[in-house]
Amino acid sequence: MVTNENSPDQARFTKTRFGRRTELTERIAKTVFFLMSVAMIVPLVAIISYLVIRAWPSLSLEFVLDVPRKGMTQGGIWPAFVGTVYLVFISLAVSAPIGVMAAVYLNEYAKDNWLNRTINLAVINLAGVPSIVHALFGLGAFVYAARFGYSILSASLTLAIMTLPVIIASTREALASVPMSFREACWNVGATRWQTIRSIVLPNSISGILTGVILQVSRAAGETAPIMFTGAVFFKSIERGDLFAYNLNEQCMALSMHLYTVTTQVPKVEESIPYATAVVLLGSVLVVNATAIAFRVWLRARKKW
């Protein structure tokens, strides 16, 4: 049996003008979003490539493990590297538990009243406060009022205050993403609110909580103003390769401060040293972030929903 090409059955599946216009719009949107993604990736790759090329003459393991010499015009960055590790991990050790507990209260316990709405607004506003304002707060609160002096402790606490709002906000979103049915199922079998949070809500939101922590590692490592006012020092002499070179009540060098110093304050420094310092700072942040992201992916793979 021969079917006519213009039969009603075939005409039924012919694309209409609206269908063709919809497909064209879809292709245009797909192309635009692809170009937007490329526009974000290409500058990043270009910046990293430029930094690595300029840093290559000085970039080595010896550069990381060595100490600055000859007025910081030569040598390595070990004191600044160790100081950055101290500042980042101490600040996160303070801000992460407090931020998670605050988010748990605001999302799981707090009632919808004027006080809690004011707290939420304050958290959002604090996330947008410039770092120099946090630096002045840390100077007054920790250096002078608490009498911690110019020290690693003062600088770390200042960074912790600065990173706290984002951790609270991201943790709240992660907690809110856990379906309410999970909580109701626990309550129906007699579990308390805290048992539900500890056994169900937190384990299922840990990957989202890590997202907030990952974001703040980069910010804490790269900030200069807060530590410049509270605990960073121009130069600190320590032993090569000493991992425990600083006490909490001492000042320390930091990579961000060291990069600013050798770029603007040190004459006749080797041209590749500032670029190598920037690459080490960037690489350190990427390693920490990659580790946290891998852990987050592993946790997400264990989810049953």
What pLDDT does residue 1 have?
47
User: Range of 31's domain?
Assistant: 15-55
Asked if residue 50 and residue 65 are part of one domain, the reply reads no
Asked if residue 187 and residue 46 are part of one domain, the reply reads no
Sequence-distant contacts of 99-103: CB under 8 A, at least 24 apart: 99/163, 99/164, 99/167, 99/168, 99/171, 99/212, 100/167, 100/171, 100/209, 102/164, 102/168, 103/167, 103/168, 103/169, 103/171, 103/172, 103/175
Tell whether 200 is covered by a domain. Answer: yes
Cα 194 to the center of its chain, rounded Å: 29
Asked if residue 269 and residue 135 are part of one domain, the reply reads yes
Asked if residue 201 and residue 90 are part of one domain, the reply reads yes
Number of domain units in the chain: 2
- pLDDT one-digit tens code per residue, 214-268: 878 888 888 888 999 998 888 888 888 778 888 899 999 999 998 988 888 888 8
Asked if residue 139 and residue 161 are part of one domain, the reply reads yes
Q: Answer whether residue 153 shows pLDDT above 70.
A: yes
DSSP codes joined into one string, 250-276: S-B--HHHHHHHHHHT-TT--THHHHH
What pLDDT does residue 72 have?
82
Tell whether 206 is covered by a domain. Answer: yes
Asked if residue 38 and residue 90 are part of one domain, the reply reads no
Asked if residue 194 and residue 217 are part of one domain, the reply reads yes
Q: Answer whether residue 9 shows pLDDT above 80.
A: no
Asked if residue 78 and residue 25 are part of one domain, the reply reads no
What pLDDT does residue 280 have?
92
Mean pLDDT of the chain: 86
Q: Of all residues in the chain, what percent carry a pLDDT higher than 90? A: 35
Q: Answer whether residue 181 shows pLDDT above 80.
A: yes
- pLDDT one-digit tens code per residue, 64-111: 998 888 888 888 899 999 999 999 999 999 999 999 999 999 988 888
Tell whether 9 is covered by a domain. Answer: no
Entry pTM: 0.84
What pLDDT does residue 285 have?
86
At which of 7, 27, 55 does a domain end?
A: 55
Residue 4 or 30, more confident: 30
Tell whether 103 is covered by a domain. Answer: yes
Supply the CATH number for residue 138's domain. 1.10.3720.10
Asked if residue 184 and residue 93 are part of one domain, the reply reads yes
CB 238 within 8 A of CB 77: no
121-133 mean pLDDT: 87
